[in-house]
Amino acid sequence: MTLIWGGLALGAVYALVAIGYNIVFISSKTFNFAQAQLMMVGTFVAYTGLVTLRLPVFVVALMAVAAVFLVAAIEERVAIRPVKEPEAVLVTTLGASMLLDGVTQLIWGPQPLTVPFFGSDDVMSLFGGQVYPVEIALILLTVVIVVALSLLARRTLLGLALLGMAEDREAAMLRGVNVRRLAFGAFAFTGALAGLLGLFVGPKTFAVATLGASLALKGFVVVAIGGFGSIPGTLVGGVIVGLVEALAARYLGSEYANISVFAVLVVILMARPSGLFVRTQERTV
Amino acid sequence: MKGRLSLVAAVVAGTALTLAGCGSSGSSGSSGSSGGEEGGSSYRVLVLGGVSAEGVLADNAKTSIVAAKAGAESVNKNGGVLGKKVEVTVVDDGGKPTVAVTKLREALAKDGKPDLVLNSGPSTVAAATLPILKQNNILSMNIGPTEDSFNPSAFPLNFDLSPSAADYAKGFVAHVKEKGYKTVGIIHGSSAFGVTFGKEIEKALTGAGISVVGTEEYDVAALDMTPQLQSLQAKKPDALMMNAYGSPVGYLLKSLQKLQWDVPVVADISVATTGLISSPPPNGVLGTDQVKNLVMEAYGSTVYDPANTRVKEAVDTMAAIDAIPATLVMAYNYDALPLVAAAAQKAGAVDAKALAQALEDPAVHEKAVTAMLPRYNFTAQSHSPNVDENAFVFIAPSTIKNGQYQK
């Protein structure tokens, strides 16, 4: 069971990155390759607030939300908005990710930094397995965020406007939706969310300048498995990737961990080319 | 006709100028190495280092560069390399092989051949630059060993300053025997050094009659090593041999604690270079339960000892030049110039081939005033330091000052 908890916690971290990818995809039909780096910045801000400045958790949470919101907003203005083609955005956001890697290293240095969890750091036993409290928190948080965002999308005007925008941007504009403002808001929201998540992800992964690169690819695999634009899909995708990686590393050897994840991805995409939670729509010509 | 003649004349003139340019480039190469020629007044050393690299590589590179400068200062104080003053030039290679190749070629074209090239790791940079150095007949000393960097048949003018994985394994064998462990498990990273470490240590321990119950590899980009450790835990070894570098050190220690596995952990020198180990909470794990079973392999020079005057002098010189952000494990470059100075005295010359031949002489090793490793044992068959187990100590984590554990 220790292995299962570990796999689920790892999957939750990947899923949290994937949620950010999906929100941007829904609102802008493109990918923010710097999403994992935003979360990485969140872990560093959490470290600064909790360790360097010794601030209360609530204040640190606000600080992280504000700081990464700002970083994401600047990224949107500099790397997304001036670019017209969605394909080019992939390049500019990739550039932003590299910039964030470098800047975090310049500010916080190259060594991994311990981010204390505001709950307990002691190992606990749960259903026959050993697990850190932060790992349970990550799993629960992922479920809560997925449920909240799914409800937001279906039951609020904002969510419906976002979905409408994702479906047909021009039609949404004709219905009075301010698509530019909404896209900017969604993008900046992913930054704020990444900042908050830094307080939970940091205690699991440390704050380290290579974290973004470690998370980015697996987050993308989670999106591909769950389906591009599907928030519930990220939960299932995260569980699959986390568990497959952990089980393969344990029983097949670590050299098969990544191979197994990509093998599962290939099998799923062969059966469901748009991912598990997105239906392929035939276009009438 | 006149126009055609003009064209021919222009082409001839252009060709002549180009050839002259090539000639001057060649001579500039040799004048660049004029330090290396008998008439030159300086001995030119080019240090490649990833100052702008990501992760712990940057700290390692900075330490390596400071060490090279300190080594040069020490040699200059004692008369230089056969009377020539050592001049150090630093090139930032970003810790990336492609950048290193470009910057090295640029430096060779612009300033001519240096007399000696030192790198600051990692081994990918060495693998990319050694062929260029060989092509240009430049003496080099390398702290990032590759598969064949120590092989004189492949690179006759290169000398590895960093001990090989086989050397490190000798230290492990001695420690495991001393502690009386009969069975061990091995966990190592998927990096080139990690994989070599895994192979060499398994071979050495097995050869010494120690039973290796399992060897597990982890992806260095992974965030959790619980599965691999769980697999080893199931085989109940007396001790765990561990290789890790940077954040994987923290992941491994967390996973060990999560598994509540109370096993002696014998870690390699890479673990000793990770800051997490030497910082108390909340920054690191020093003094916590996570490191209570941990000992790390290190060189004697990395442990503070006021009685060791040679190391003390090296550290003081380094600290006077700049901060020492990593441990002295990364300061091999300090030893490069004393080795070259001793070789030059023996050879009576400073050209690369003569120095390389002299560096294989045990008398030179004896005479060289090195500090990071007490003695280098290059031979005509192997340009690796070939240190014995006495070069290593196994220490518990402690705080670090000026690159040394304050045990």
Residue A280 clears pLDDT 70, i.e. is over it: no
- Beta carbons of B199 and B164 less than 8 angstroms apart: no
In the predicted model, is pLDDT for residue B26 greater than 80? no
Min Cα distance B53 → chain A (Å) is 9
Residue of B nearest to A208 (CA): B247
Contacts of residue A231, defined as CB under 8 A and 6 or more positions apart, other chains included, come to A19, A22, A23, A146, A149, A150, A153
For the segment B72-99, the average pLDDT, to the nearest whole number, is 92
Write out chain B residues lying below 8 Å of A262, CB-based.
none
Lowest mean pLDDT among A59-63, B217-221, B343-347: B217-221
* Binary contact (A2, B217; C-beta < 8 A): no
Q: At what angle do helices A133-155 and A231-251 cross, to 10 degrees?
A: 150
Task: Tell me the shortest Cα–Cα distance from A93 to chain B, in angstroms.
Answer: 19
Q: Do A41 and A17 touch, CB atoms closer than 8 A?
A: no
B119 and B242 part of one domain: no
Contact call for A112 and B221, based on CB within 8 A = no
Which three-class secondary structure state does DSSP give residue B184?
strand
Shortest alpha-carbon distance between residue B246 and chain A (Å): 7
For residue B265, the model assigns a pLDDT of 96
Same-domain status, B57 and B145: yes
* B263 residue type, one letter: V
| Interface residue of A54, A105, A111 to substitute, partner B, most B CBs within 10 Å | A111
B1 in a structural domain: no
B348, pLDDT greater than 60: yes
* Neighbour-count burial of B195, counting CB atoms closer than 10 A to its CB (0-12 exposed, 13-18 middle, 19+ buried): middle
Residue B286 falls inside a structural domain: yes
The whole-number pLDDT of residue B147 equals 81
| Contact residues, chain A, for B227 at CB < 8 Å | 3, 6, 246-247, 249-250, 254, 257
Phi/psi region, residue B327 (left: phi>0; alpha: psi -120 to 50; beta: rest), is beta
- The identity of residue A42, as a single letter, is G
DSSP H stretches of helix in B308-369:
309-321, 333-347, 352-359, 362-367
Contact A131 B258 (CB under 8 A): yes
Q: What is the total count of domains within chain B?
A: 2
Query: Pick from B150, B366, A106, B41: which is nearest to B375 by CA?
Result: B366
Cα angle, residue B277 at apex, residues B271 and B283 outer, rounded to 5°:
140
The reply to whether B379 and B401 lie within a common domain is no
pLDDT score for A112: 84
For chain A, give every domain's residue range: 2-212
Of A171-175, A176-180, B24-28, B31-35, minimum mean pLDDT range: B24-28
A3–B230: do the CB atoms touch at under 8 Å? yes
Report yes or no on B178 lying in a domain: yes
Burial class (CB in 10 A: 0-12, 13-18, 19+), B110: exposed
Select the residue of B223, B255, B282 nearest A205 (Cβ to Cβ): B223
Mean pLDDT across the stretch B320-328? Answer: 89
Q: Which of B2, B100, B115 lies closest to B51 in space, CA to CA?
A: B100
Do B100 and B223 lie in a common domain?
no
> Is the confidence at residue B31, as pLDDT, over 50?
no
pLDDT confidence bin for A282, thresholds 50/70/90: low
CB nearest to A105's CB, from B54, B222, B260: B54
**Least-confidence region, from A52-66, B16-30, B163-177, B189-203:** B16-30
Q: From the centroid of its chain, how far is CA A167?
A: 22
d(CA A240, CA A74): 34
Q: What percent of chain A has pLDDT over 70?
A: 98
> Length of chain B, please?
407
B369 touches chain A (CB under 8 A): no
Best mutation target, B54, B216, B271, to test chain A (most A CBs within 10 A):
B54
Given an 8 Å threshold on Cβ–Cβ distance, is A110 in contact with B59?
Answer: yes
Cα separation, A22 vs A29, in Å, equals 9
Other beta carbons less than 10 A from residue B72's beta carbon: 30
- Note whether A3 contacts B: Cβ–Cβ < 8 A: yes
Out of A130, A208, A257, closest to residue B247 by CB: A208
B242's tokens: 């561990």
Residue tagged 């060897």 (tokens) = B215
Q: Are B290 and B242 in contact (CB under 8 A)?
A: no
B70 or B20: which leads in pLDDT? B70
The label of the residue with tokens 């999957």 reads: A11
Q: What is the pLDDT of residue A80?
A: 81
Domain membership of residue B184 (yes or no) is yes
Q: Are residues B212 and B299 in the same domain?
A: yes
3-state secondary structure of A222: helix
pLDDT at residue B186 tops 80: yes
Nearest CA in chain B to A132: B258
B258–A213: do the CB atoms touch at under 8 Å?
no
C-alpha atoms less than 13 angstroms from C-alpha of B210 in its C-beta half-sphere: 30
Domain that holds residue B341: 41-163+308-387
Of B149, B163, B98, B90, which is closest to residue B120 (Cα–Cα)?
B90
- Is B51 at the interface with chain A, CB within 8 A? no
CATH number at residue B125: 3.40.50.2300
Residue B306 CB burial class (10 angstroms; 0-12, 13-18, ≥19): exposed
| B55–A contact, CB cutoff 8 A | yes
Q: In this structure, are B226 and B355 located in the same domain?
A: no
| pLDDT (mean) for A57-85 | 89
- Percent of chain B at pLDDT above 70? 89
Q: Which of A149-153, B170-174, B354-358 has the lowest mean pLDDT?
A: A149-153
Which residues does chain B have within 8 Å of residue A111's beta carbon, measured at their own beta carbons? Answer: 56, 59, 246, 274-276
On whether residue B121 sits in a domain, the answer given is yes
Q: How far is B55 from chain A (nearest CA, A)?
A: 4
CB contact under 8 A, A114 and B276: yes
DSSP bridge partners of B242: B187, B267
Q: Are residues B185 and B297 in the same domain?
A: yes
Q: What local confidence, expressed as pLDDT, does residue B9 receive?
A: 44
Residues B314 and B291 in one domain: no
Q: Quick one: pLDDT band at residue B56, thresholds 50, 70, 90?
A: low
Name the average pLDDT for chain B.
86
Residues in chain A within 8 Å Cβ distance of B55:
105, 110, 208-210
Q: Report yes or no: A175 at the B interface, CB cutoff 8 Å.
A: no
Give residue A285's pLDDT: 58
Confidence at residue B164, expressed as pLDDT on a 0 to 100 scale: 85
- Interchain pair A206, B276: CB under 8 A: yes
Residue in B190, B227, B250 closest to A206 by CB:
B250
In the sheet with B42-49, reading across from the earlier edge strand, the strands are B85-92, B42-49, B116-118, B139-142, B158-160
Residue contact A111–B56, C-beta within 8 A: yes
Q: How far apart are CA B400 and CA B147, in angstroms?
A: 32
**pLDDT higher for B79 or A30?**
B79
Contact at CB, A114 and B218, closer than 8 angstroms: no
Mean pLDDT, residues A14-33 taken together? 87
Tell me if A114 and B285 make a contact (CB, 8 A cut-off): yes
Q: Give me the half-sphere count of Cα atoms (radius 13 Å) on the Cβ side of residue A163.
A: 14
Burial of A148 (0-12, 13-18, 19+ CB in 10 A): exposed
Of the listed ranges A26-35, B102-111, B169-178, the one predicted with least confidence = A26-35
Mutation for testing the A interface, residue in B219, B223, B327 having most A CBs under 10 Å = B223
Residues A135-188 have pLDDT tens digits of: 999 999 999 999 998 888 888 877 787 777 777 777 777 777 777 888 888 888
pLDDT in tens, A92-105: 888 888 899 888 88
* Measured torsion, CA atoms of residues B264, B177, B276, A72, in degrees rounded to the nearest 10: -80
**pLDDT at site A59:** 94
Q: Which of residues 33-72 of A touch B (CB under 8 A)?
A: 50-51
- What single-letter amino acid sits at A214? S
Q: Using one digit for the tens of pLDDT, what is the confidence trace for B282-315?
A: 778 888 888 999 999 988 899 999 899 999 999 9
